[in-house]
Structure 1
């Protein structure tokens, strides 16, 4: 099963991964990270097919994809 994870320490909540996700399963979290940003989070891991579009789009290298 594919899994997309976000390292909240590096995520600035820019939203590029949200726009890139064809399944539309990434949202900004309601909580703030240590830097004061709302980090991205995958809301439905079961729908993730590890397409890596979010990974490639992330300018901060905060996303990891496990296949």
Structure 2
């Protein structure tokens, strides 16, 4: 029987450009993004990867981000 290899993905957020609309958090099915407890230079609570959940590589977060601050990389 063949094993199914889980996709390894990484989410990069340009936190200094995030305006905190949180559309990406809302659209992320696996919950791989969360709101940071820290503020960026513009005074917004930015989004950051959630270490407790893994990204499935769907790129929904990057697609809905109006400021293009999210990049998804995977196998």
Structure-1-length-normalised TM-score? 0.91
Structure number with greater Rg is 2
Question: 1 or 2 for the larger relative contact order (CA 8 Å, sep ≥6)?
Answer: 1
**RMSD over aligned Cα atoms:** 1.4
Q: TM-score of the superposition, structure 2-length normalised?
A: 0.82
Instruction: Give ranges in structure 2 of 5+ residues lacking alignment.
Output: 1-7
Unaligned runs of 5+ in 1: none
Number of equivalences: 67
C-alpha distance in structure 1 between counterparts of 2:67 and 2:50, whole Å: 20
Runs ≥4 residues deviating over 4 A: none
- More strand, by proportion: 2
